Chain A
Amino acid sequence: MPSVPLLLSQAFNGLALGSLLALVSSGLTIILGTLGVLNFAHGALFMLGAYAIFLVMQATGSFILAVLAGCVFMLVVGVVVERLVMRLFYQRPPEDQILVTFGIGIVVVEAVRAVFGGNSQHVSVPGWGEGVTQLGFLIYPTYRLEVIGIIAAVLALLWVVLYRTSIGLVVRAGIEDQRMVGILGINVRRTFLLVFAIGVVAAGFAGMIYAPIIAVVPDMGDSFLVESFVVIVIGGLGSFPGAVVGGLIAGEIVSITSAFNSAYSEVMLYALMALLLVVRPQGLFGTEGRV
């Protein structure tokens, strides 16, 4: 039986891990919840964000500048992908959408591999995040502590934009009946574009925040794509609060289990997902019959 301080430390780590998972999943759930598209390029876009910050940091040395430039870059990527490909697929069956996003993911990953190779790239922790912080019962990396705050702010902002302004309303109405919304004088296509681009920026932003922590390699998005799916299945497909709560639950499960035996931490995560699919298939915050 692990000691109480260790359990407390792991519970705290679960919160930090969970907030990162919530951030990673948010991009996926925004696009799914509003546009109804399951974006299999999510992992690749996450990776693209990490490479963007790597490049700008090499050139400028500034983390904040790199994040800003990275977000602009991801916005452009989102707009280009939506205009060239995605807009043709909103009315197509889900399997077509999955195939096309999966294909976009492969193209992005292989393009990055062709340019940078398979070696991992080094992104340093920003100066203000270096070192460890003493929290009484545990010592924790300063950067990860700050990241919890950054993520909370970003998720709150995303929620306000998507669900407390008319954008989300327009998109959801547009999915129900695009023509009717158009007749009401609203430019649905532009709103779709905006939401898709926000989802892409969210995925890229998660990659940027994660870049100083993990190995920046072309395949880095693969495992995050899978974890994001687990998180949004737990939280409820397409539900934004679901992604946040699902992320936190996933983080706690992985972390607390590893206090007992780290080999079982992923198993427990998938076990919970399987259990949830049996007793509450729509997830914690999902609505039955609607994505």
Chain B
Amino acid sequence: MYQSIRRGGISRRRILQSSLGIAGGLALVRPGFAAERHPAIGTWPDGVSGDTAFIGITTPLTGPYSADGTDEQLGYELAIAEINAGSAIARKWGLTGKGVLGKTLKYKIADSQTKPNVAVQAQTGFIQTDKAIMITGCVSSATAIALEELAQREKVLNMVGLSGSNDTTGKNCQRYGFRSQPSAYMACKALAPVVGKAYGKGVKAAYLTPDYTYGHSVFDSFTDGVKPYGWTVATNQVVPLGTTDFSSALLNIANSGAKVFVNIAFGADAVASTKQADQFGVLKKMKLIVPNISSFQAKQTGADLMAGVYGTFDFWWTLEDRYPLAKDFVQAFLKQHNYHPRWGAHIGYMQTMIWAVSVERAKTFYPPEVIKTLEASKSNPYESSLGKVYYRAGDHQMVRPVPVVVGKAKSAMKNPDDFYNVVDVVSGEQLLQPLDDTGCHMGAYT
């Protein structure tokens, strides 16, 4: 009671005086902030009011996709180190000076355990306590979609990590989410002509599909892609994510009379199912195709099982022969970690670099301006580890080349990481799903 009387007692003149004083003080201390004239949104401007900017990173360090997640983490760390050092490589991507707009990047990494709710919880913490100005990282489309929703709600930009489902830039697309990995549609459209040519027309194919958005998306896109070649579905075995024993599904596949086995399982599930398919004699009877090959699949199953297997990648390290920035990335990574980076690391690295470049192009961290810069990149493409790339404004899918690969025989490998030959690099423009078919309806900027 006493307090409220006192508050009521403060004069209007006094309030005006003090607020003018505060505003004046702010203008003196942070001229940039006052000059930008945007209302506060999400973690802006609080997150970048000091001399640092915080990035919240979630990758699965445990669970079935942990191998890819660990690789992804190293990619983020390399990009952030290059950016903060203002290295020669960072300058080649288009950055100037140390950090981003002079601010040093800080980050924390949380283990998302390959579970969407864990990732959302961790990123919510990064947004609330660390005032993350950008969130990123995942190895599952279910997590990607959950984080995109969080980003849109919290108005914090999300540079999507590993996610192949069409829904990520389709019916679940968000204004605050951008994806660099090829969608299932793009990957399968690039792969279909190669396998159509290799295995001919009218082939019966058996499928092993993980039961969530990614699996169904790849199944739909692959069967669509090979339709012009008259391929039919002998059986589609849908199994939960994290299955360990695939024997009953493989028995159905072995008895399906198929000539080709399309294994859509990913991560540790892909390793286990491929090993078991071999033990069931499936790989002797059928040609294996993996539409989207996990980062370490050949290393974990042994090169023999993946020899002659067709598939696609976001990135394979021998692309360093085509793109100078890929060479810089691969060599810097190799020097630090003693192995050739896989595509998990590549996505972490590339998405961080491109976000940093976009902030510098926008000359502000203010998310709506950064989003508009990313959306306008078609007219001003990014110089990247995949050559010139841009995001399509309508669905935030990166338009980028897609490498199609085939597994090498063990005897043909030139070094311990030399598992694949790149048979084709298909330009992104010709792979894009027509925008109307994506089902994407963007949310608001503010």
Contacts and interface: CB of A to CB of B under 8 A. Distances in A.
A139 interface: yes
A118 B280 contact: no
A81 interface: no
Chain B interface residue count: which class?
35 or more
Given A118-B62, A119-B299, A218-B62, A213 B248 contact: no
For the complex of A and B, the 5 pairs showing the least CB-CB separation, nearest first, are A118-B66, A258-B248, A263-B238, A215-B272, A141-B279
Contacts of A273: none
A120 B247 contact: no
Nearest to B281: A132
Interface string B265-306: 000110110011001110000000000000010011110000
Contact of B245 (A17, A117, A138, A259): A17
A121 B67 CA distance: 11
Given A17-B245, A118-B62, A6 B280 contact: no
Interface in A232-278: 254-255, 258-259, 261-263, 265-266
Interface of B: 61-64, 66-67, 69-70, 211, 237-240, 242-245, 247-249, 251-252, 254-255, 268-269, 271-272, 275-276, 279-281, 296, 299-302
Contacts, number: 116
Given A118-B66, A219-B62, A13 B251 contact: yes
A53 interface: no
A125 B278 CA distance: 11
A13 B247 contact: yes
Contacts of A262: 237-239, 248-249, 252
Interface of A: 5-6, 9-10, 13-14, 16-17, 20, 113, 117-122, 125, 131-132, 138-141, 143-144, 213-215, 217-220, 222-224, 254-255, 258-259, 261-263, 265-266
A273 to B, nearest CB: 16
Q: Residue among B61, B66, B239, B245 with the most chain A CB within 10 A? A: B245
Given A120-B300, A262-B239, A213 B279 contact: yes
Contacts of A120: 67, 268, 271-272, 300
Contacts of A16: 247
Contact of A6 (B70, B237, B252): B252
A217 B66 contact: yes
